[in-house]
């Protein structure tokens, strides 16, 4: 699984986002206290996180994610401060020592299907994990329109074809002619996604883009045992 993200210029700053001003947001919750800390719950700096045995709660702060395990009492403020101390700078600084793969959380990974949030319908990039050789796929929308797309050898990214406009809520099928493999992508367009981890996580949660959220959490994770 990919463990690194380089957040590029594709991420625009959103103004007035309630998610972006929260100290931390819960992104995963398991155990007896899961109902008290459901995914999407935002916690202010003054909030106390009280966990009992068997609880596992993952939260994202301004610059990193942390997994908290019960039993124990945690201050949201300390989670936010630890996040800021451990990861300076913006998204581009995350896991900088590791090998980068998908350049942006907002690029489409053609290797996986499901619901995908995209930043701008006019500048979507499609990413493939194996860029060694040239590859061609057929993109087909639910209304029957299709367009061929090719990656040159050595290139991991290519632009979404202008001849097949992206529409919010539309399903697209990616067909690999050589191997006969197919995957279905359900697109959600997001206008001006937040430029911070908390806000980005909230947007992905609200729109059900779970695979991107999982990747975001993995990239920014710290574990508190």
Q: How confident is the model over 197-213, as pLDDT tens digits?
A: 898 999 999 999 999 99
Over 70: is that where the pLDDT of 24 sits?
Answer: yes
Over 70: is that where the pLDDT of 83 sits?
Answer: no
Place of tokens 């996040």: 83
The rounded mean pLDDT for the chain is 78
Question: What's the CA gap between 43 and 37, in Å, rounded?
Answer: 10
Per-residue pLDDT band at 8 (split at 50, 70, 90):
very low
Q: DSSP assignment, residue 95?
A: T
Question: What's the CA gap between 11 and 185, in Å, rounded?
Answer: 21
- Predicted pLDDT of residue 23: 81
- Predicted pLDDT of residue 84: 53
Query: How close are the terminal C-alpha atoms of the chain, in Å?
Result: 22
CA 103: distance to chain centroid? 12
pLDDT tens-digit series, residues 175-199: 887 767 888 999 999 888 787 889 8
Give the max Cα distance, the chain: 56
Question: What's the CA gap between 142 and 136, in Å, rounded?
Answer: 20
Tell me if 172 sits within 8 A of 143, measured CB to CB: no
Question: What's the CA gap between 115 and 131, in Å, rounded?
Answer: 23
What is the percentage of the chain residues whose pLDDT exceeds 90?
39
Tell me if 167 sits within 8 A of 173, measured CB to CB: no
How many residues are present in the chain? 225
List the structure tokens of 36.
Answer: 């008290």
List the structure tokens of 161.
Answer: 């074809």
- Predicted pLDDT of residue 181: 80
| Higher local confidence (pLDDT), 23 or 208 | 208
| 3-state SS class at 99 | coil
- Predicted pLDDT of residue 32: 96
According to the per-residue pLDDT averaged within each range, which of 12-16, 154-158, 188-192 is highest?
154-158
- 71: cis peptide before it, omega within 30°? yes
| Higher local confidence (pLDDT), 17 or 87 | 87
The pTM of the whole model exceeds 0.85: no
- Predicted pLDDT of residue 225: 45
């Amino acid at each position: 699984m990919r463990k690194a993200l380089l957040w590029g210029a594709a991420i625009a700053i959103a103004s007035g986002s309630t998610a972006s001003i929260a100290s931390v947001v819960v992104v995963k919750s398991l155990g007896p206290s899961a109902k008290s800390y459901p995914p999407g719950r935002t916690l202010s700096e003054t909030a106390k996180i009280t966990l009992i045995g068997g609880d596992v709660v993952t939260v994202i702060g301004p610059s990193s994610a942390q997994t908290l395990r019960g039993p124990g009492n945690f201050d949201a403020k300390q989670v936010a401060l630890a996040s800021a101390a451990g990861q300076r700078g913006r998204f581009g600084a995350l896991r900088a020592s590791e090998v980068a793969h998908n350049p942006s959380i907002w690029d489409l990974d053609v290797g996986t299907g499901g619901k995908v949030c995209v930043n701008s319908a006019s500048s979507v990039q499609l990413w493939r994990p194996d860029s060694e050789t040239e590859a061609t796929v057929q993109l087909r929308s639910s209304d029957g329109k299709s367009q061929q797309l090719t990656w040159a050898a050595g290139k991991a990214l290519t632009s979404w074809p202008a001849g097949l406009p992206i529409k919010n809520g539309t399903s697209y099928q990616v067909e690999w002619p050589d191997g006969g493999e197919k995957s279905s992508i359900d697109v959600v367009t997001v206008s001006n996604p937040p430029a911070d981890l908390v806000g980005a996580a909230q947007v992905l949660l609200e729109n059900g883009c779970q695979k991107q959220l999982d990747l975001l959490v993995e990239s920014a994770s710290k574990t508190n045992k």
